[in-house]
């Protein structure tokens, strides 16, 4: 099977069928109709084998994650996803792998109404770049900037699960509680982009970003974009029962602070609007936990039970990985 046959077979009709796709995979470019009165929202994220997922990881999970990390960026903007392109570099034309990858990618795309509209398949070390395109009503998208001093900081869901899941996937962690282990592993392998919550937060949250590199790495970026200081009460970080089953509280907290890969949303919200936003989260079957606040200044500080606290881990950095980061 040649390259073109490969592309046709697995990627010609992946994801949703949309009337606004005038021309999809198979020409030099795709033709898309962006709804009037909207801003186009575009993001790109790459996964590299052995770096963002363990070598030999299940192809279906890789397909899911390649799209999920991009959908999470749109969630952070409060945007509605619509179209994706895929640049797939593969060591060989491995049919079983392609089938699994296409299944993971396609299921998530269909679930969120995303059509794959373009792709490029090349030979080389396994690398997957997805560009996601979506839209939001003009001027309504959330950004990292815009919050005011006094706004609360809050996160969706629970933190640290994916960090523990990655440790399980690489054999760095073993657990006898199989139900909890499975839950943590799924949180790493099949992250859930918080798209509905992002849309619900438009007009209520004052700033938003997704937590992809760990709270310790990501929060300073939001604070800097707002031109404010941030403070977090570490004991407020939402952690799952499964995470507590995996390790003692210090290790659990380390994952919650710096583990990365959770793809929860970090939002700033004026205190008087927090109740509204939390209620919307509840309607989506999602928790929204206040963890701190923004203040005048330019520092990021952490306390644990009232005492100053230094996070034990750094954010995910591809060129200088923190020593506590598990190498995959």
Report 2-31 residues binding its own copies (CB under 8 A).
Answer: 2-4, 6, 22-23, 26-31
CB of 193 to its own copies, least distance (A): 11
Site for its own copies, residues 142 to 171, rule: CB under 8 A: 143-145
> At 184, is the secondary structure helix, strand, or coil?
helix
Residues ≥6 apart with Cβ < 8 Å to 243 = 158, 160, 161, 164, 184, 252, 255, 256
Are the beta carbons of 253 and 159 closer than 8 angstroms?
no
Are the beta carbons of 161 and 263 closer than 8 angstroms?
no
Q: Residue 42 interacts with its own copies (CB under 8 A)?
A: yes
Site for its own copies, residues 183 to 212, rule: CB under 8 A: 208-210
Q: How far is CA 97 from CA 61, 70, 131, 323, in A?
A: 11, 21, 21, 32
217 vs 292 by CB, closer to its own copies: 217
Q: Which of 19, 56, 92, 96 binds its own copies (CB under 8 A)?
A: 92
**Alpha carbons within 13 A on the beta-carbon side of 67:** 32
Q: Which of 98, 133, 153, 154 binds its own copies (CB under 8 A)?
A: 133
> How many residues sit close enough to its own copies to count as binding (CB under 8 A)?
72
One-character DSSP codes across 42-58: EEEEEEEBTTTB-TT--
Tokens encoding 149: 């001093």
Stretch that binds its own copies, among 43-51, 165-173, 236-244, 246-254 (CB under 8 A): 43-51
184 vs 267 by CB, closer to its own copies: 267
32 vs 294 by CB, closer to its own copies: 32
CA angle 31, 33, 34 (to 5 degrees): 130
Instruction: Spell out, one character per residue from 48 to 87, where the chain touches its own copies: x when CB under 8 A holds, - when not.
Output: xxxxx--------------------xx-xx-x---x-xxx
Q: Which of 119, 259, 260, 311 binds its own copies (CB under 8 A)?
A: 119
Site for its own copies, residues 267 to 326, rule: CB under 8 A: 317-320
Q: Which of 215, 54, 42, 187 is nearest to 129 (CA)?
A: 42
CB of 303 to its own copies, least distance (A): 25
């Amino acid at each position: 099977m040649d390259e073109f046959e490969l592309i046709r077979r697995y990627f010609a009709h992946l994801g949703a069928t949309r009337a606004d796709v005038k021309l999809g995979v198979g020409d030099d470019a795709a033709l898309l109709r962006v709804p009037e009165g909207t801003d186009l929202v575009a993001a790109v994220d790459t996964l590299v084998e052995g770096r963002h997922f363990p070598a030999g990881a299940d192809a279906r999970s890789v397909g899911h994650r390649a799209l999920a990390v991009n959908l999470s960026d749109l969630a952070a903007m409060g945007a509605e996803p619509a179209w994706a392109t895929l640049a797939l570099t593969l060591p060989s034309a491995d049919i079983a792998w392609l089938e699994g990858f296409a299944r993971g990618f396609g299921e998530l795309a269909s679930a969120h109404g995303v059509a794959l509209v373009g792709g490029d398949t090349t030979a080389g070390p396994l690398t997957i770049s997805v560009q996601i395109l979506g839209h939001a009503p003009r001027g309504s998208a959330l950004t990292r900037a815009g919050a005011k001093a006094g706004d609360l900081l809050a996160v969706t869901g629970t933190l640290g699960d994916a960090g523990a899941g990655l440790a399980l996937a690489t054999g760095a962690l073993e657990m006898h509680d199989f139900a909890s282990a499975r839950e943590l592993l799924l949180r790493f392998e099949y992250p859930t982009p918080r798209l509905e919550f992002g849309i619900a937060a438009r007009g209520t949250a004052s700033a938003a970003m997704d937590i992809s590199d760990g709270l310790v790495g990501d929060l300073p970026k939001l604070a800097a974009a707002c031109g404010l200081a941030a403070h977090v009460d570490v004991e407020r970080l939402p952690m799952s029962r499964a995470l507590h089953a995996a390790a003692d509280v210090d290790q659990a907290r380390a994952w919650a602070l710096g583990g990365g890969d959770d793809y929860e949303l970090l939002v700033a919200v004026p205190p008087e609007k927090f109740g509204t936003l939390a209620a919307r989260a509840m309607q989506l079957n999602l928790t929204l936990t206040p963890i701190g606040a923004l203040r005048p200044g330019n520092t990021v500080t952490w306390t644990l039970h009232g005492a100053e606290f230094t996070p034990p881990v750094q954010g995910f950095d591809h060129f200088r990985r923190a020593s506590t980061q598990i190498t995959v």
